[in-house]
Amino acid sequence: MGANVVGRSKGAVVEVRTMELFFDLVYVFAVSQLAGFLYEHLTGRGSIEALVLFGGVWWVWNYTTWATNFIDPDRLPVRLLMVTLMLLSLVMADGIAESFGERGPQFAIALALMQVVRPLFVIVTMWGHQIARNYLQLGLWSAVAAAVWIAGAFCEPHVRLYVWIAALTIDVAAPLVNTYVPGLGGIPMTQWRLSPGHLVERNRLIVIIALGESVLSIGREFMHMDTSAASILLLVIAFATTVSFWWLYFARHADHAERGLEEAEDPTSLARGGYAYAHAVLVAGIIVTAVGAEVLLGHPDEHTGPAQALVVAGGPALFFVGISLFVASTAGLDRIETVVAAWTVALFVALGAVAAAAGLAVQVLAGAVAVVLLLTVGIAAWHERAARRP
């Protein structure tokens, strides 16, 4: 078995294959599980636990996405790898709800196996090529992180969180230090020959999956509400928030980022920042906001506390941080975008703080957040037209 059996054809356009779309179906379930976990654990510690779980899930998906840039999911051995990873992803996702309880080993072992099996497959099948050397060093980092994930699963729940934070830190740090290994050195990002279009499309799809969870959350909660003018207004507020996210990402920034990668001298370094890291923040913001929609529709008259402010205003703030990092890493933020992004994040934080301090109803905070988001969509549309003028 070699590169001619599993590798992408040289010179061919690297397209997203149906096997990759099939693989992503498990992450529809994983995103739903993450949102459900956060909803059931709306506390300070629960939020950190949800963040760590999201980080583990994100890094598995992200590394698989990058791997399929180099190996072809239409080849039988790669399909078998993807099916194996898909099954393990299903086991991992199923363990999310009780990951800090009795299903911790299930979550961690499934995650760890994926992080070891994937690089091992590439090393064996692509031996003699630069990509095998790349995955050898990445695999060493992943193996260490996998061991820590598994070790944490057998610790007491209050200790498990800290051990898993360490495991996630190892995973996150690896690309930042160019997978440096003593005695072997690091591998510059230029040695990862990226096909930008494939990575862009894969990340667009995961954003759609996250937005889909928002739509499902809205639909699930609205189904249990009485049909009235008040409930319709709440539905519009929640839906407008989701539409604003789509508009800001797809109507302007996604295409600009792709062009930025295609024109860059070192597209892989830009992609590392814009997709591996910034998209993690962006997608996390969408998932948190989906939980905020459930809180809004399920308890609109409830007084806003820190937990409600975190998901209703904090989710959009996190989304804006992510999309700002994404644009800055790929196409670059201009002066207007920088000012708008900074003020928008600050405004979301201020709205959440004021609502929590004053005990305002959740629906009041959500309405204010939706208005701010719609204003940013209007500013983005104006800015787009202004940029196109000769």
Examine the pLDDT at 330 and tell me if it is beyond 90: no
Q: What is the pLDDT of residues 98-118, one digit of tens each?
A: 999 999 999 999 999 999 999
Question: Is the alpha carbon torsion for 99, 102, 105, 110 positive or negative?
Answer: negative
pLDDT digits (tens, 9 = 90+) for 193-227: 888 888 999 999 999 999 999 999 999 999 988 88
pLDDT for 389 equals 65
DSSP state of 43: S
Q: Is the pLDDT of residue 1 over 60?
A: no
Instruction: Please state, in angstroms and rounded to a whole number, the distance separating the CA atoms of residues 187 and 182.
Output: 12
Task: Count Cβ atoms within 10 A of the Cβ of residue 213 and give its class: 0-12 exposed, 13-18 middle, 19 or more buried.
Answer: buried
Query: In this predicted structure, what is the pLDDT of residue 4?
Result: 59
Q: What are the φ and ψ backbone dihedral angles of 7, each rounded to 5 degrees?
A: -75, 160
- Pick the closest to residue 285 from 342, 339, 377, 210 (CA basis): 210
Q: Tell me, what's the pLDDT at 253?
A: 76
pTM for this predicted structure:
0.94
pLDDT surpassing 90 at residue 30: yes
Per residue in 130-176, pLDDT (tens digit) is 899 999 999 999 999 999 999 999 999 889 999 999 999 999 999 99
- Calculate mean pLDDT across residues 181-202: 89
